[in-house]
C-alpha cells in the first residue's frame, strides 16, 4: 500500500501540489493523468522523494515519513523509503559507458553490494523478461529508444522494488517503439507489479491502469477506476481532457 496524505510541494512562492491525497493498493496500476504543468511528475517524484514534499506524509508499506516546512528529514530515512521504489525516467537515463547488462547490474553491485556473478545472473533474467537477452552486451548508443527504455525498466526492477514508478515512459518514443514499452509494462501489470505512472499516453493508461488520478493545477479533479474515468468521467474538466486526448 502506498498512501499520500495532504502532499504540498512549493518551489519558492509557486505551489505545484495543493494538499494531494491518494491511496494505491498493492498489485494495482495507477495512472496520473492531466494537462502539462498539472503536477503529475512532481507527485510521482514525491513518492520516492526525488522531490521532497514541503508538507504531508508519504507511506510505502510499513515505512512512513512526514514533512513540514523548516524540518529536514534525515538522509537515512529518505534512503530507506526510496529503496522500496524503482524509477523509470522519460529519457531512459542509461549509463552510456556501460553495456545493457552492466546498466541493469549497476545498482545491485554498487548500492546493494551484490557479488558480480549473482548481479549478472539477475540482470540477464530481467533482460530476458523485457525481450532483450540478445542485447545484453550492446552499448546504449546502438539500441533503439524502445530498447533503451526496456533496459531502463529491467534496471528499475533489479532490486525487486515494492513499486515501479514510471515518469512519461513512452513520451520520448515514436508510436511504433512505444508499443514495445506498453507491451512490457502490460505484462508486468498482469504479473501483479504495483505501478504508478505519470503519462499523457491514453493507450498506455487505458490498457494497463486499474485506477486513474486526474490532476490539474496541483489539485485532484477526479479519481476512480480507469474504465469509469476514461469511459464515463463525472467532471466536466475530465471530459474535456479525455476528449482532447482521444482526438489527438
Q: Are 7 and 56 in contact (CB under 8 A)?
A: yes
- pLDDT value for 22: 94
**Residue 200 reports pLDDT greater than 90:** no
Neighbours of 190 (CB within 10 A): 10
Decide: 40 and 33 in contact? Cβ < 8 Å.
yes
pLDDT digits (tens, 9 = 90+) for 52-74: 999 999 999 888 999 999 888 99
pLDDT in the model for residue 174:
86
pLDDT at 153: 97
Neighbouring CB atoms inside 10 A of 152's CB total 27
Please check whether residue 123 is in contact with residue 108, taking contact to mean a CB–CB distance below 8 angstroms: yes
pLDDT for 86 beyond 80: yes
Is the Cβ–Cβ distance between 104 and 127 less than 8 Å?
yes
| pLDDT confidence of residue 176 | 81
Length of the chain: 248
pLDDT band at 247 (very low <50, low <70, confident <90, very high): low
What structural domains and CATH numbers belong to the chain?
2-84+161-247 (3.40.50.300), 94-160 (no CATH)
Instruction: Retrieve residue 56's grid coordinates.
Output: 504531508
Flag the least confident range among 8-22, 100-114, 206-220, 232-246: 232-246
In this prediction the pTM is 0.94
Amino acid at each position: 500500500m502506498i498512501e499520500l496524505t495532504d502532499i504540498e510541494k512549493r518551489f519558492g512562492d509557486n505551489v505545484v501540489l495543493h494538499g494531494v491525497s491518494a491511496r494505491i493498493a498493492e498489485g494495482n496500476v495507477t495512472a496520473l493523468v492531466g494537462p502539462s504543468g498539472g503536477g503529475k511528475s512532481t507527485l510521482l517524484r514525491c513518492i520516492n522523494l526525488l522531490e521532497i514534499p514541503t508538507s504531508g506524509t508519504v507511506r510505502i508499506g510499513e515505512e512512513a515519513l512526514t514533512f513540514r516546512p523548516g524540518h529536514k528529514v534525515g538522509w537515512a530515512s529518505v534512503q530507506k523509503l526510496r529503496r522500496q521504489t524503482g524509477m523509470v525516467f522519460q529519457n531512459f537515463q542509461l549509463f552510456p559507458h556501460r553495456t545493457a547488462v552492466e546498466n541493469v547490474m549497476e545498482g545491485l553491485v554498487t548500492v546493494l553490494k551484490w557479488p558480480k556473478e549473482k548481479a549478472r545472473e539477475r540482470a540477464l533474467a530481467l533482460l530476458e523478461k523485457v525481450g532483450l537477452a540478445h542485447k545484453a552486451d550492446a552499448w546504449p548508443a546502438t539500441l533503439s529508444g524502445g530498447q533503451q527504455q526496456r533496459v531502463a525498466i529491467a534496471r528499475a526492477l533489479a532490486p525487486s522494488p515494492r513499486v515501479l514508478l514510471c515518469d512519461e515512459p513512452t513520451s520520448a518514443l515514436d508510436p511504433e517503439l512505444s508499443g514495445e514499452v506498453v507491451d512490457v509494462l502490460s505484462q508486468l501489470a498482469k504479473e501483479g507489479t504495483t505501478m504508478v505512472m505519470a503519462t499523457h499516453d491514453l493507450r498506455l493508461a487505458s490498457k494497463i491502469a486499474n485506477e486513474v488520478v486526474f490532476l490539474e493545477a496541483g489539485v485532484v479533479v477526479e479519481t476512480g477506476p480507469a474504465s469509469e474515468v476514461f469511459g464515463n468521467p463525472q467532471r466536466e474538466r475530465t471530459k474535456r481532457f479525455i476528449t482532447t486526448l482521444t482526438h489527438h
